């Protein structure tokens, strides 16, 4: 049976730093995604990136589609949107949903990070991914591990790789109410198996 540490999962201090994106400066080069996976996985695989770039199209050959991003116009504004981990305030949805306590507030900046030694997707069926309203946790099928942005230990490689200045590493503030959720979620804590 997996051991839980509910005190860490429910009441954690806020992160001290975060990454923010300025869509007016983004050119869509995707260097941020490449820098992320090269630093963290040692390979270029944007699907595993902890930062996600998308273009807001919601009109296609079948007419108006469900918008990729909510509240961005009826026809889509074609704006480039980069999703980054918002380092949610407590209770952190992905942390609460993890039945093995693998998502922790990592010192010294209380960054929400996956402890790879504890992560066991066979125990949880990727609850962290489903619990995040922005879909930020990613899953590496080869490694059988989930991960979220850990800010590269205080030196975010995506920010360094951004030549247009669209990404900034700034002091944390709660942006969870300002950025529309991408997915409807219900945080349900799984019982251990």
Q: What is the DSSP letter of 154?
A: G
Distance CA 158, CA 39 (A): 9
Residue 182 lies in a domain: no
Q: What is the pLDDT of residue 81?
A: 80
Q: What is the pLDDT of residue 117?
A: 93
Q: What is the pLDDT of residue 7?
A: 37
Residue 60 burial (CB count, 10 A)? 9
Residue 18 lies in a domain: yes
- Name the token pair of 35: 């820098």
The CATH code of the domain that includes 63 is 3.30.70.20
- Name the token pair of 18: 């975060």
Q: Torsions phi, psi of 177, nearest 5? A: -90, -15
Domain that holds residue 151: 6-171
Residue 184 lies in a domain: no
SS3 state at 67: coil
Q: What is the pLDDT of residue 89?
A: 94
The model carries a pTM of: 0.79
Residue 118 lies in a domain: yes
Q: What is the pLDDT of residue 57?
A: 59
Residue 186 lies in a domain: no
How many structural domains are present in the chain?
A: 1
Q: What is the 3-state secondary structure (H, E, C) of the chain?
A: CCCCCHHHHHCCCCCCEEEEECCCCCCCCCHHHHHHHHHHHCCCCHHHCCCEEEECCCEECCEECCCCCCCCCCCCCCCEEEECCCCCCCCCHHHHHCCCCCEEEECCCCEEEECCCCCCHHHHCCHHHHHCCCCCCEEECCCCEEECCCHHHHCCHHHHHCCCCCEEEEECCCCCCCCCCCCCCCCCCCCCC
Q: What is the pLDDT of residue 2?
A: 43
Q: What is the pLDDT of residue 107?
A: 87
Distance CA 98, CA 192 (A): 9
Residue 1 lies in a domain: no
Q: What is the pLDDT of residue 5?
A: 43
Residue 162 lies in a domain: yes
Q: Could you tell me the mean pLDDT of each successive run of 10 residues in the chain, 193 residues long?
A: 45 94 91 96 92 71 50 59 91 92 92 92 84 91 90 95 96 91 63 51
Residue 158 lies in a domain: yes
Q: What is the pLDDT of residue 31?
A: 96
């Amino acid at each position: 049976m997996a051991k839980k540490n509910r005190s860490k999962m429910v009441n954690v201090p806020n992160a001290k730093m975060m990454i923010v994106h300025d869509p007016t400066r983004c050119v869509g080069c995707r260097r941020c995604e490449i820098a992320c996976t090269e630093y963290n996985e040692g390979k270029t695989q944007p699907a595993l990136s902890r930062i996600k770039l998308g273009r807001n199209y919601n009109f296609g050959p079948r007419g108006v589609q469900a918008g990729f991003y909510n509240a961005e116009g009826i026809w889509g504004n074609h704006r480039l949107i980069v999703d980054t981990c918002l380092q949610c305030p407590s209770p952190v949805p992905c942390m609460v949903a993890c039945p093995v306590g693998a998502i922790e507030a990592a010192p010294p900046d209380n960054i929400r990070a996956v402890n790879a030694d504890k992560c066991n997707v066979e125990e949880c069926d990727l609850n962290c991914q489903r619990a995040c309203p922005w879909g930020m946790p990613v899953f590496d099928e080869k490694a059988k591990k989930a991960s979220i942005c850990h800010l590269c230990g205080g030196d975010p490689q995506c920010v360094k790789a951004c030549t247009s200045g669209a990404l900034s590493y700034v002091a944390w503030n709660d942006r969870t109410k300002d950025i529309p959720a991408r997915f409807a979620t219900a945080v349900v804590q799984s019982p251990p198996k």
